Amino acid sequence: MKRTMENQKLIDIRNLVKRFPIGDGSFTALRGITLAFAEGEFAGLVGPSGSGKTTLLNIIGSLDTPSEGSVTVLGREVTHLSHREAAALRNHHIGFIFQTYNLLPVFTVYDNVEFPLLLQKGGAAGRKKAVMKALEWVGLADKAQSRPAQLSGGECQRVSIARAMVKRPQLVLADEPSANLDADNSHHILRTMKRLNRELGTTFIFATHDEKVMHYLDRIIGLEDGRVARDERIENTTEDDHPPASGEIGGSELPGEEDFARP
Amino acid sequence: MLALKLAIRNLLGAGLRTWLTAGVLSIAFVVMVFYQGLLDGWNLHARSTTREWEIGGGQYWHPAYDRFDPFSLQEAHAPLSPQALELAAAGRIVPELITQATAYPDGRMVNLLIRGIPPGQQLLSLPTAALAADSVGIPALIGRRMAASLRLQPGDALLLRWRDRSGVFDAREVTIVGIFRADVPSIDQGQIWLPLATVQEMTGMAGEATLLVSAPDQAPLPLAGWVFKDTDFLLKEFTEVIHSKKAGSSIIYGTMLAIALLAIFDTQVLSIFRRRREIGTYMALGMTRGQVIGLFTVEGAAHSLFALLLASIYGLPLLHWLGTHGISMPEVADATGMTIGDKMLPVYSAGMVLFSVAVVILSTAIVSYLPARRIARLKPTEALRGRAQ
Averaged over A234-242, what is the pLDDT?
59
Contact residues for A250 (Cβ-Cβ < 8 A; gap 6+): A136, A139
Does the pLDDT value for residue A156 go beyond 60?
yes
For residue A238, name the pLDDT band (cuts at 50, 70, 90). low
Q: Cβ of B285 and A115 within 8 Å? A: yes
The pLDDT value recorded for residue A246 is 37
Determine the Cα–Cα distance for residues B124 and B95; give it in Å rounded to an integer: 11
The pLDDT value recorded for residue B257 is 84
A170-174, A227-231, B77-81, B182-186: the lowest-pLDDT one? B182-186
Determine the Cα–Cα distance for residues A94 and A211; give it in Å rounded to an integer: 25
The pLDDT value recorded for residue B57 is 93
Contact residues for B388 (Cβ-Cβ < 8 A; gap 6+): B273, B276, B382
CA angle, B5 then B10 then B11, to 5°: 100
For residue B24, name the pLDDT band (cuts at 50, 70, 90). confident
Could you tell me if B387 lies within 8 Å of chain A, comparing CB atoms?
A: no
Averaged over A26-35, what is the pLDDT?
94
Residue A256 sits at φ, ψ, to 5 deg, of -95, 180
Summarised one tens digit per residue, pLDDT across range A179-195 is 888 888 889 889 988 99
B157, B98 contact by CB (below 8 A) = no
Q: Where are the beta strands (DSSP E) in chain B?
A: 59-61, 78-79, 93-103, 110-117, 139-143, 157-163, 169-180, 191-195, 208-209, 211-214, 227-229, 327-328, 343-344
A172, A97 contact by CB (below 8 A) = yes
Q: Cβ of B6 and A104 within 8 Å? A: yes
Summarised one tens digit per residue, pLDDT across range B147-206 is 998 999 999 999 999 998 888 999 999 999 999 998 888 999 999 999 999 999 999 999
3-state secondary structure of B121: coil
Mean pLDDT of chain B: 89
CA distances from residue B113 to B71, B73, B100, B182, B189 in whole angstroms, order as listed: 11, 10, 5, 17, 9
Summarised one tens digit per residue, pLDDT across range A84-138 is 999 999 999 999 999 889 998 888 999 999 999 988 877 889 999 999 999 998 8
A44, containing H or E segment: strand A42-46
The pLDDT value recorded for residue B229 is 95
Does the pLDDT value for residue A5 go beyond 70?
no
A242-256, B42-56, B136-150, B273-287: the lowest-pLDDT one? A242-256
Averaged over B293-321, what is the pLDDT?
91
Determine the Cα–Cα distance for residues A60 and A14; give it in Å rounded to an integer: 12
The pLDDT value recorded for residue A245 is 41
Indicate the residue of A87, A92, A100 with minimum beta-carbon distance to B287.
Answer: A87
For residue A2, name the pLDDT band (cuts at 50, 70, 90). very low
Is the CA virtual torsion B115, B121, B127, B133 positive or negative? positive
B276, B388 contact by CB (below 8 A) = yes
Does the pLDDT value for residue A3 go beyond 50?
no
Mean pLDDT of chain A: 85
Averaged over B200-226, what is the pLDDT?
92
Top pLDDT among A5 and B236 is at B236
- How many Å from the N-terminal Cα to the C-terminal Cα in chain A? 18
Indicate the residue of B13, B280, B287 with minimum beta-carbon distance to A119.
Answer: B287
Q: How far is B279 from chain A (nearest CA, A)?
A: 10
Averaged over A142-166, what is the pLDDT?
93
Top pLDDT among A78 and A241 is at A78
Q: How far is B377 from chain A (nearest CA, A)?
A: 12
Shortest CA distance to B42 belongs to which of B341, B247, B366, B306? B341
Does the pLDDT value for residue A61 go beyond 50?
yes
Does the pLDDT value for residue B304 go beyond 70?
yes
The amino acid occupying position B261 is: L
A172, containing H or E segment: strand A171-175
The pLDDT value recorded for residue A237 is 52
CA distances from residue B164 to A55, B72, B204, B206 in whole angstroms, order as listed: 103, 14, 6, 11
Determine the Cα–Cα distance for residues A220 and A234; give it in Å rounded to an integer: 8
**DSSP code at position A257:** G
How many CB atoms within 10 Å of residue B189? Answer: 17
Does the pLDDT value for residue A8 go beyond 70?
no
Does the pLDDT value for residue B313 go beyond 90?
yes
The pLDDT value recorded for residue B389 is 52
Does the pLDDT value for residue A253 go beyond 70?
no
Q: Which residue of B lies nearest to A62 if distances are taken between CA atoms?
A: B284
**DSSP code at position B208:** E
3-state helix, strand and coil shares in percent for chain B, rounded to the nearest 5: 55, 15, 25
Q: Let me know how many helices (H) and strands (E) chain B has, helices first.
A: 12, 13
Q: Which residue of B lies nearest to A174 if distances are taken between CA atoms?
A: B284
Q: What is the dihedral of CA B290, B295, B300, B303, to 10 degrees?
A: 150
How many CB atoms within 10 Å of residue B367? Answer: 24
The pLDDT value recorded for residue B256 is 81
3-state secondary structure of A241: helix
CA angle, B133 then B137 then B143, to 5°: 65
The pLDDT value recorded for residue B252 is 83
The pLDDT value recorded for residue A7 is 52
Could you tell me if B10 lies within 8 Å of chain A, comparing CB atoms?
A: yes
A159, A103 contact by CB (below 8 A) = yes
Q: Cβ of B284 and A92 within 8 Å? A: no
Q: How far is A214 from chain B (nearest CA, A)?
A: 24
Does the pLDDT value for residue A256 go beyond 50?
no
3-state secondary structure of A33: strand
Contact residues for B179 (Cβ-Cβ < 8 A; gap 6+): B141, B142, B143, B144, B147, B152, B153, B154
Summarised one tens digit per residue, pLDDT across range B43-70 is 899 899 999 999 999 999 999 999 989 8
Determine the Cα–Cα distance for residues B359 and B304; give it in Å rounded to an integer: 10
Q: Cβ of A58 and B381 within 8 Å? A: yes
Determine the Cα–Cα distance for residues B104 and B161; give it in Å rounded to an integer: 8
Shortest CA distance to B37 belongs to which of B321, B331, B329? B321
How many CB atoms within 10 Å of residue B240? Answer: 10
The pLDDT value recorded for residue A4 is 42
For residue A6, name the pLDDT band (cuts at 50, 70, 90). very low
The pLDDT value recorded for residue A251 is 44
Q: Cβ of B384 and A106 within 8 Å? A: no
Residue B118 sits at φ, ψ, to 5 deg, of -65, 125
**Predicted TM-score of the model (pTM):** 0.71
Does the pLDDT value for residue B14 go beyond 90?
no
